[in-house]
Structure 1
Amino acid sequence: MVRPRRIVLVRHGESEGNADDTVYERAPDHALGLTEAGLRQAEETGVWLRETFGRESVSVYVSPYRRTHETFHAFALDPELVRVREEPRLREQDWGNWQDHDDVRLQKEYRDAYGHFFYRFAQGESGADVYDRVGAFLESLHRSFEAPDHPENVLLVTHGLTMRLFCMRWFHWTVAEFESLSNPGNGESRTLLLGEDGRYTLDRPFKRWRTPEPYGITG
């Protein structure tokens, strides 16, 4: 089994929906592109990625959303070094169909009170649903490591909630730990680094907006 040296997770740059949440009433979530600021964020992240990967090979998985595809293209990675696949399981949490602005704001308030992991949008998914499909993707990812020519790096171009849930699943964090963490900013990354002991560690933690609730399994 060839385990990659790095597994890099990147959140897309600022999208039209990040800049103006009323746009969801007029356009599907998956069709929203990057703003000019989001494109600059992606280009800046691309500079760092090219320096980080050097001439090493990279296996890339991209969420099927327009903003993640545009983010990846802005990285300007050497096409001779990357193997790219669209991966629907890395998509954003589904809110379902067209969105009524006032209704979505109300549901977000409910979610904040109920908990981001368990609350399910009326026509969409809960965080737990996203966790399940991220877990299914991880099974596929681990099987890919069995290929003798697997690239030295893995890059996931995805969404903030999905990044947190990927790390929750990988590091076996509790729901309480997940609930205490904030999303990374647009264009931000987190990297799982392979150590000499064969274990991965996170290059830097997610910011916390509160202390985890003291219940459940802790170790």
Structure 2
Amino acid sequence: MARPRRIVLVRHGESEGNADDTVYEREPDHALRLTSAGVVQAEEAGVRIRELFGGEQVSVYVSPYRRTHETFRAFDLDPSLVRVREEPRLREQDWGNWQDKDDVQLQKTYRDTYGHFFYRFAQGESGADVYDRVGAFLESLHRSFESPDHPPNVLLVTHGLTMRLFCMRWFHWTVAEFESLSNPRNGEMRVLQLGDDGRYTLDLPFDRWRTPEPYGTGG
């Protein structure tokens, strides 16, 4: 099995929705573009990514949202070195269709109280649903490692919550551990590096906003 030396996860640059949450009332979430600041963030991430990969081959998976595609294009990677696939399972948590700003704020308040992993948006997904589709993607990813000529690098261009849930699934974090962590900022990246012992480690922890509150093992 040709496991990659590194798996890099990148959150998209700032989007129109990050800058102005009323845009969700007029535009579909998946169609939102990067802001000018988001383009700069993506370009800066691209510099770090090119330095990290050097001249090595990269297998790339991109969320189907416009902002993630725009982020990837801003990386300006050598086309001869990358194999790019759109991967719908790496999309943002579904919140429904067009969204009323006041309703979204109310549901966010409910989610903060109920828990980000289990709370389900009225017309969308829970964090647990995203976890399940990330797990299905990981099964496909592991099968791709069976190819002896698999590139030494994997790059995922995705979303903040999806990044945390990917790491939760990979490192077998508990729900309590997930709930204690914050999303990376726009344009931030995390690297899973393969060590000499055959295990992957995370180069940089996620910011922690509280101490995990374990539920125990009682039924």
Residues 88-127 of structure 1: pairs in structure 2 closer than 5 A: 88-127=88-127
Q: State the TM-score, normalized to the length of structure 1.
A: 0.98
Q: CA deviation at 1:3?
A: 0.4
Mapped to 2, the partners of 1:51 and 1:203 lie a distance apart of: 15
> Which letter maps to 2:76?
A
How far did 1:40 drift? 0.1
Query: Partner residue of 2:32?
Result: 32
Question: What are the Cα deviations for residues 165-217 of structure 1, in whole angstroms up to 9, with x where unaligned?
Answer: 00000000000000000000000000000000100000010000000003235
Supply the distance in 1 between the matched residues of 2:193 and 2:187 (Cα, whole angstroms): 19
Separation in structure 1 between the aligned mates of residue 117 and residue 17 of structure 2, nearest angstrom: 22
Query: Do residues 139 (structure 1) and 139 (structure 2) align?
Result: yes
Output aligned runs, 1:60-209, within 5 Å. 60-209=60-209
- CA distance in 1 between partners of 2:102 and 2:186 (Å): 24
Matched, 1:59 2:62: no
Superposition CA RMSD, Å = 0.6
Q: 2:136 is aligned with what amino acid?
A: A
- TM-score when scaled to structure 2? 0.98
Aligned equivalents of 1:141, 1:214: Cα separation in 2: 30
One-letter amino acid of the structure 2 residue matched with residue 154 of structure 1: V
Deviation at 1:148, TM superposition (A): 1.1
Q: Cα deviations across residues 23-46 of structure 1 (Å, max 9, x unaligned)?
A: 000000000000000000000000
1:108-141 Cα offsets, whole Å, 9 max, x none, are: 0000000000000000000000000000000000
Structure 2 counterparts to residues 11-22 of structure 1, below 5 A: 11-22=11-22
Structure 2: segments with no counterpart, 5+ residues: none
Q: Work out whether 1:216 is the aligned partner of 2:216.
A: yes
- Rounded to whole Å, the distance in 1 between the matches of 2:30 and 2:42 is 18
Structure 1 CA distance for aligned equivalents of residues 90 and 102 of structure 2: 27
What one-letter code is carried by the residue in structure 1 that aligns with 2:78?
D
**Deviations along 1:20-69, whole A, 9 cap, x unmatched?**
00000000000000000000000000001001000100000000000000
Amino acid at match of 1:145: F
2:176 is paired with a residue whose SS is: helix
Which segments of structure 1 move beyond 2 Å, counting only runs of 4 or more? 214-217
Is 2:3 aligned against 1:3? yes
Distance (whole Å) between structure 1 residues aligned to residue 166 and residue 51 of structure 2: 24
Q: Distance in 2 between matches of 1:131 and 1:110?
A: 20
State the alpha-carbon separation in 2 of the partners of residues 2 and 40 from structure 1. Answer: 34
1:121 partner letter:
F
